[in-house]
Amino acid sequence: MCHKIVCSSLPLLSIILCGLIGVSLANNLAGYEGYTKYTVQHGNENAFRAMVDLQTNDADLDFWLLTRNMSVLTVSPKRKTQFEQRLSNLGVRYEVQPLMELMAMLEGNSTYSDEDQYLTEEDEATEECQQGECESQRPRRRSRRQARGFFSHYPRYNEILSFMSGLASRYPQYCRYESIGRSNEGRHIAALSISLNTRTRPRRVAYIQAAAHGREWITTQTVLYLAYELLSNLRAFQRVLNDVEVFLVPLVNPDGYEYTHSTDRFWRKNRHRYAGHTCAGVDINRNFGNHWNYQGASQNLCSEVYSGTAPNSEPETSAVVRYLEFNRNRVKLSLDVHSFGKFIFYPYGYARNTVPPTVGTLRSVALRAANQIGKYRGTRYTIGTSASILYEASGSLDDFAYGNLGIPLSYTLELPGEEFHVASSDIIHVCKETFAGFIEFIRHVSLY
């Protein structure tokens, strides 16, 4: 057994950390001093099973990624010695890196909303135009410039809602802004419906949601970018949208998302609080009513994969379920966007050797979407069931949509971005490459 410590120069780290004082990073990483990130290479099936057991049952360990060959997780200083002894007993190789050092390096490219910069970019949109074009061209140029600013940082909840309502106001014939329900803390779970004909409900619906896990910021931006590009180029996508309504929920877990900005950058669950308990939150991705709490989920309230008190118990989950059940005869695609890992999963995730009867079609469509994503800059996705590639996990949306509602195209998309972090300069590129995959998925909806 061997392990390696990854570190950078302390003087540089000090300079970066000093520059971060006073911004939201100082608040949402409070309490993580002394934490360590571990990258563990599994040597055999026994080691993998041991890590799965830890992920499910040890509430003090926060797994960021768990595949059959590798785990990425963070460990508190009080558990460091014990955890390393466990790794030694398993005979696995691992690398370690101080978490605060890692975050300081990542945040060198700030991904937080900068209102002054955003307003400046909007003002700059009044750039010079040729005589006779100003009145017609300026609004569109301003819109395009604002969008570039929006997709260069991670917006807060209110800014997201403003962006969504702005799209609906700008394209009232083709876009409807609504709420499918409210979160535990009373926030709207906002949605956009995009359709070429708002008077006649299309026969087919492509449902796409994001940010079921609060810390997965990049997912919301990709779905918002999809809405923006479709509405900005309706003529180009007329064939794709001809008989399809695209229904987008960019922020399924608004409470968790806001909490990651204000308090805890790595918060995963919703913010359901239980009287008499210090631990809070339910993993929405374990709460759907298909083989609920069967595998890869926990009834320990403190666990990162706590599945809740019952199937669909959470207001966020039940809001999604209500929409999908009401529209079950029209919804042909259910796509749940997560990060990170570069995977496309199709059912079933609750058991390793269980595959759906239409696995050939599911895999073929996923391969086509992955191929379109790869054309932008070569990003490669791995395709299969989450149970075969990662580990068995029940209560996910893709299993529920396919197994309970009969939605024929049901997937989970795991985007790029290490440590749930995509640098501000790379947000737009992840959005653009993912957009190509989204369009391919939506294109197949018209076949049903």
Identify the band that residue 31 occupies on the pLDDT scale cut at 50, 70 and 90: confident
Beta bridge partners of 36: 75, 98
- Dihedral, CA atoms, 306, 311, 316, 320, nearest 10 degrees? 140
Q: Is the dihedral of CA 319, 323, 326, 332 positive or negative?
A: negative
- Structure confidence at residue 59 (pLDDT): 84
Q: What is the mean pLDDT of the chain?
A: 86
pLDDT at 265 over 70: yes
- Structure confidence at residue 22 (pLDDT): 39
Domains of the chain, CATH where assigned: 3-106 (3.30.70.340), 114-152 (no CATH), 153-445 (3.40.630.10)
- Dihedral, CA atoms, 297, 299, 301, 304, nearest 10 degrees? -10
CB atoms within 10 A of CB 90: 18
Percentage of the chain lying above the pLDDT 70 cut:
84
- Structure confidence at residue 121 (pLDDT): 37
Instruction: State how far Cα 412 lies from the chain centre.
Output: 10
- Structure confidence at residue 20 (pLDDT): 43
- Structure confidence at residue 120 (pLDDT): 34
Q: Is the dihedral of CA 51, 55, 58, 60 positive or negative?
A: positive
CB atoms within 10 A of CB 172: 11
Query: Which tokens sit at 149?
Result: 């600013």
Contact between residue 95 and residue 6 where contact means Cβ atoms under 8 Å apart: yes
Ranking 8-22, 174-188, 320-334 by mean pLDDT, the lowest is: 8-22
- Structure confidence at residue 81 (pLDDT): 93
- Structure confidence at residue 200 (pLDDT): 61
CA-to-CA distance for 162 and 247, rounded, in angstroms?
18
- By annotation, the residues acting in catalysis are 414
Query: Which tokens sit at 445?
Result: 């909806």
Region 301-325: what's the mean pLDDT?
Answer: 96
Q: Which residue did the predictor score with more confidence, 425 or 281? A: 281
- Dihedral, CA atoms, 323, 215, 283, 316, nearest 10 degrees? -30
CA-to-CA distance for 185 and 177, rounded, in angstroms?
21
pLDDT at 315 over 60: yes
For the stretch 56-107, pLDDT in tens is: 888 889 999 998 899 999 999 999 999 999 999 999 999 999 998 888 887 6
- Structure confidence at residue 240 (pLDDT): 87
Query: Which tokens sit at 421?
Result: 């972090």
- Structure confidence at residue 423 (pLDDT): 87
Identify the band that residue 10 occupies on the pLDDT scale cut at 50, 70 and 90: very low
Q: Work out the widest C-alpha separation in the chain, in whole angstroms.
A: 76
Please name the residues in contact with 205: beta carbons below 8 A apart, sequence gap of 6 or more: 244, 245, 246, 247, 327, 330, 331, 332, 333, 445
Burial class (CB in 10 A: 0-12, 13-18, 19+), 93: middle
For the stretch 238-259, pLDDT in tens is: 988 888 999 999 999 999 999 9
- Structure confidence at residue 203 (pLDDT): 81
Helix (H) or strand (E) segment spanning residue 194:
strand 188-194
CA-to-CA distance for 291 and 87, rounded, in angstroms?
31
pLDDT at 444 over 60: yes
- Structure confidence at residue 9 (pLDDT): 42
pLDDT at 15 over 70: no
For the stretch 273-307, pLDDT in tens is: 999 999 999 999 999 999 999 988 999 999 999 99
Reported pTM? 0.86
For the stretch 367-424, pLDDT in tens is: 999 999 999 999 999 999 999 988 889 999 999 999 999 999 999 999 998 788 888 8
Query: Which tokens sit at 361?
Result: 């079609």
Identify the band that residue 117 occupies on the pLDDT scale cut at 50, 70 and 90: very low
pLDDT at 116 over 60: no
- Structure confidence at residue 140 (pLDDT): 52
Q: Among residues 398, 407, 312, 390, which one has the least CA distance to residue 347?
A: 398
Identify the band that residue 13 occupies on the pLDDT scale cut at 50, 70 and 90: very low
